[in-house]
Amino acid sequence: MHGVSVLVAGAGLAGLTAAHDLMSVGATVTVIDARNRAGGRVWTIRDDFIDGQHAEAGGDLIDEAQHEICGLCKDLGLTLAPILRNGWGYVRQDDSGRPRLAGRRATGGWDRLPARLADLIHAYLLAEKRWDSPIAADMARRSVAQWLDEIRADEKLRGTVRGLRAFFLADPDDLSLLALVDQFAEGNGSWPGRMYRIKGGNDRLTAALAAPLGHRLRLSTELVAVTHRGRGVKVSVRHAGGVSQLDGDYLVLTLPATMLCRVPITPALPAQQHAAIAKLRYGRATKTLLQFSRRFWRAPGRPRAFGSALPLGAIWEGTEEQRGRAGILTLLAGGSASDATQTMFTGNGPRRMVEALDWLGSRRAELVGSRLVSWEADPFARGGYAYFDPAFDPSLRSWLARPCGRLFFAGEHTSFRWQGYMNGAVESGRRAAAEVAASHRLLGGSGLTASGSSRPQP
Ligand SMILES: Cc1cc2nc3c(=O)[nH]c(=O)nc-3n(C[C@H](O)[C@H](O)[C@H](O)COP(=O)(O)OP(=O)(O)OC[C@H]3O[C@@H](n4cnc5c(N)ncnc54)[C@H](O)[C@@H]3O)c2cc1C
C-alpha cells in the first residue's frame, strides 16, 4: 500500500493496532486522538503510588484464550505475567448483612446459573449464535431481571447474577437476556481461564504501538466531521490552533459509539448503521485503586480475586506481578455499583471503602495511595464499554463493523467474540486494516491510489 494514505481516528488499542498493520504493508498512516495521551481505555496509573508500583484504571486482565493480544505482545517483545493463579473467590452477605468470603461453589448460584440457562443456550446454539435470528430477537427484548422473575429465581441466584454487574457493567434490569446467554454459550466450564497482564503495565503495549508513528500520531486533536464523497475522505479536526482539515484515501473510525454518534458524517451512513451506533449503550464503570502498606489479603491457598454483589464491585490484586511490600487492590464497580462507589468516595475519600474491606483484613495495613476513575464521566469514552440492553435490536449488531465506502469501523464494540475486551479492540483493528487492504485491491489500487493520484510503484 505504498503511496496510500490512511487516517485513523482514535489512538486506543483498536486504532493503534490498525495503524501498526497498515504501516507494515507500506501505507502512510496518520492517527488522531482527542486526548493528550495514547491508549484510550488502556490507562496505567503510576503517579499516585509509592514504591514504583502501578495499576490499571482501564483494561487489566488478559485471558489465555485471547490469542490476538497475546500474539501482538509477543511480536513486540512484551512479557505476559501470569496472575490470579488461585482463581476467583466470592463474597456474599451473611444473614446479618456482613460480607463473608465463600468459595464460588458455596454460593449456590454459580452452579445453578448455567443449568437454568441451558434451554436458552441450546436454542441459541441451534441458531448458530446468529443475532439476526428470531431466536436471538426473542431473548434480546427481555431483560435479565424479567427472566429471573419468570423462572422465580431465589435470592441466591439473583445475588449471583447481580454480581455480574462488574463484568457486564449493567444491572439485571438493564441487560438483555441475549447478552447473558451469549456469554454462557461460550463457556467451556473453565471461564474465566488463566489470567495475565503485561509486565511493566498494559500501557507498554499501547506505547510500543504508538512509538513508530512519531509525529504522525496527533494528540489533542478531536475529530469533528467526516466527508467521504468521491475518491477520498476529508475530516475536520479541532485542536489548540483551531479547526483544520486532513485528507486521506481511507478512514478507520475507532471512536467508542458514544463519541462516534456525535460526529456528522456526509453522506450519512445507512439508516441501520446509524441506528446501531446511536442505540448502543455503554456501562457505568468506576475503578478504585487502593494501595496499602502490606498485602493483607494474601493467605496460602486463598484466591486474590473476588466477585461480589457488594456496592464495591469485584475486587482483585492489581500488583501480583510487582515487587515490594506494598500492594494495590483493584475494585471494579459496574452499573449501579458505580454510582454507589462514587457516593461512598464523595466526602470521605477512600476511608469508607477501606472500612468496607474489613472482612478481608484491611485494618492490618495502612492506606498509602489511592485513585478513583469513573469512565462514565470520561469525556472521550462516556462509559466503560458497550453492553446490549433490551432496546437494542440484535439484527443491527453486525452493522457496527460494516465498512461504508472508504470508511472502516473498529473498536471493542465492533467485535463479536471479544466485545468489551482489549482483545476485541486488537482483533477489530487488525480486521479493519485487512479490510482497507482488501478494498484497495478491489479498487484496483496498484499504481493509481484510491484518491486518484498517480504515484510511483515501490
Ligand atoms: C474499567 C474498565 C475495565 C476493563 N477491564 C478489562 C479487562 O480486565 N480486560 C480486558 O480485556 N478489557 C478490559 N476493559 C476493556 C478494554 O479496556 C477496552 O475494550 C479497550 O481498551 C477498548 O479499546 P478501543 O480502541 O476500542 O477504544 P478506546 O481505547 O476507547 O480508544 C478510542 C479512542 O478514541 C478517542 N476519541 C474519542 N472521541 C474522539 C474524537 N472525537 N476524536 C478523536 N479521538 C477520539 C479516545 O480518546 C480513545 O483514545 C476494561 C475497560 C474499562 C473501562
CB 45 within 8 A of CB 202: no
Which of 419, 430, 438 is CA-nearest to residue 15? 430
For residue 74, how far is its CA from the centre of ligand 1 (angstroms)? 21
The amino acid occupying position 8 is: V
| Residue 257 and residue 399 in one domain | yes
| Residue 270 and residue 409 in one domain | yes
pLDDT at 270: 98
Q: Read off the pLDDT band of 450 (50, 70, 90).
A: very low
191, 209, 243 — which closes off a domain? Answer: 191
The CATH number for 177's domain is 1.10.405.10
Higher pLDDT, 309 or 415: 415
Residues in the chain: 458
Sheet holding 217-218, edge to edge: 217-218, 28-32, 5-9, 250-253, 407-409
Q: Is 421 in the pocket of ligand 1 (CB under 6 A)?
A: yes
| Separation CA 130–CA 122 (nearest Å) | 13
For residue 420, how far is its CA from the centre of ligand 1 (angstroms)? 9
| Separation CA 92–CA 209 (nearest Å) | 41
Whose C-alpha lies nearest to ligand 1, atom 13?
Answer: 59
Task: Summarize the confidence of residues 354-363 as an average pLDDT.
Answer: 93
Of the residues 258, 422, 428, which should be mutated to test ligand 1's pocket, given the most ligand atoms within 8 Å of the CB? 422
In a domain, 411, yes or no: yes
| Residue 261 and residue 401 in one domain | yes
pLDDT at 293: 98
- For 28, half-sphere exposure in the C-beta direction (CA atoms, 13 angstrom radius) is 11
Of the residues 204, 236, 255, 382, which should be mutated to test ligand 1's pocket, given the most ligand atoms within 8 Å of the CB? 255
In a domain, 200, yes or no: no
Of the residues 385, 387, 417, 431, which should be mutated to test ligand 1's pocket, given the most ligand atoms within 8 Å of the CB? 385
pLDDT at 452: 39
| Separation CA 74–CA 37 (nearest Å) | 24
Which ligand 1 atom is at minimum distance from the Cα of 411? Answer: 26
Whether residue 346 has pLDDT greater than 90: no
Per-chain mean pLDDT for the chain: 93
In a domain, 58, yes or no: no
Q: Is 260 in the pocket of ligand 1 (CB under 6 A)?
A: no
In a domain, 42, yes or no: no
Q: Is 14 in the pocket of ligand 1 (CB under 6 A)?
A: yes
Which ligand 1 atom is at minimum distance from the Cα of 13? Answer: 25
CB 359 within 8 A of CB 315: no
Directed axis angle between helix 422-442 and helix 13-24, to 10°? 40
Task: Summarize the confidence of residues 161-170 as an average pLDDT.
Answer: 95
Whether residue 349 has pLDDT greater than 90: no
In a domain, 79, yes or no: no
Q: Is 287 in the pocket of ligand 1 (CB under 6 A)?
A: yes
**What total of structural domains would you count in the chain?**
2
pLDDT at 16: 98
pLDDT at 268: 97
For residue 175, how far is its CA from the centre of ligand 1 (angstroms)? 20
Whether residue 143 has pLDDT greater than 50: yes
Q: And the C-alpha cell for 401?
A: 463493523
| Separation CA 7–CA 234 (nearest Å) | 9
Q: Is 16 in the pocket of ligand 1 (CB under 6 A)?
A: no
Q: Is 12 in the pocket of ligand 1 (CB under 6 A)?
A: yes
Whether residue 406 has pLDDT greater than 50: yes
Residue where the block lists cell 455480574:
164
- pLDDT by residue (tens digit) across 24-80? 999 999 999 999 999 999 999 999 999 999 999 999 999 999 999 999 999 999 999
pLDDT at 453: 39
In a domain, 458, yes or no: no
Q: What 3 state SS string does the chain have? A: CCCCEEEEECCCHHHHHHHHHHHHCCCEEEEECCCCCCCCCCCEECCCCCCCCCEECCCCCEECCCHHHHHHHHHCCCCEEEECCCCCEEEEECCCCCEEEECCHHHCHHHHHHHHHHHHHHHHHHCCCCCCCHHHHHHHCCEHHHHHHHCCCCHHHHHHHHHCHHHHCCCCCCCEHHHHHHHHHHCCCCCCCCEEEECCCCHHHHHHHHHHHHHHEECCCEEEEEECCCCCEEEEEEECCEEEEEEECEEEECCCHHHHCCCCEECCCCHHHHHHHHHCEECCEEEEEEEECCCCCCCCCCCCEEEECCCCCEEEECCCCCCCCCEEEEEEEECHHHHHHHHHHCCCCCHHHHHHCHHHCHHHCCEEEEEEEEHHHCCCCCCCCEECCCCCCHHHHHHHHCCECCEEECCHHHCCCCCCCHHHHHHHHHHHHHHHHHHHHHCCCCCECCCCCECCCC
Which ligand 1 atom is at minimum distance from the Cα of 423? Answer: 11
| Residue 166 and residue 227 in one domain | no
Q: Is 422 in the pocket of ligand 1 (CB under 6 A)?
A: yes
Please give the residue range of the domain that contains residue 234: 5-36+219-280+393-442
CB 18 within 8 A of CB 433: yes
pLDDT at 263: 98
Q: What is the pTM of this model?
A: 0.95
| Residue 229 and residue 267 in one domain | yes
pLDDT at 105: 58
| Separation CA 82–CA 80 (nearest Å) | 6
Which ligand 1 atom is at minimum distance from the Cα of 224? Answer: 41
Sequence-distant (≥ 6) Cβ neighbours of residue 47 within 8 angstroms:
none
Which of 206, 108, 81, 117 is CA-nearest to residue 163? 108
The CATH number for 16's domain is 3.50.50.60
| Separation CA 419–CA 439 (nearest Å) | 24
Q: And the C-alpha cell for 308?
A: 461480589
Which of these ranges, 100-104, 111-115, 288-292, 337-341, has the smallest mean pLDDT? Answer: 100-104
Whose C-alpha lies nearest to ligand 1, atom 5?
Answer: 59
| Residue 122 and residue 183 in one domain | yes
| Residue 169 and residue 131 in one domain | yes
pLDDT at 104: 55
For residue 381, how far is its CA from the centre of ligand 1 (angstroms)? 7
pLDDT at 98: 87
Q: Read off the pLDDT band of 447 (50, 70, 90).
A: very low
In a domain, 344, yes or no: no
Q: Is 166 in the pocket of ligand 1 (CB under 6 A)?
A: no
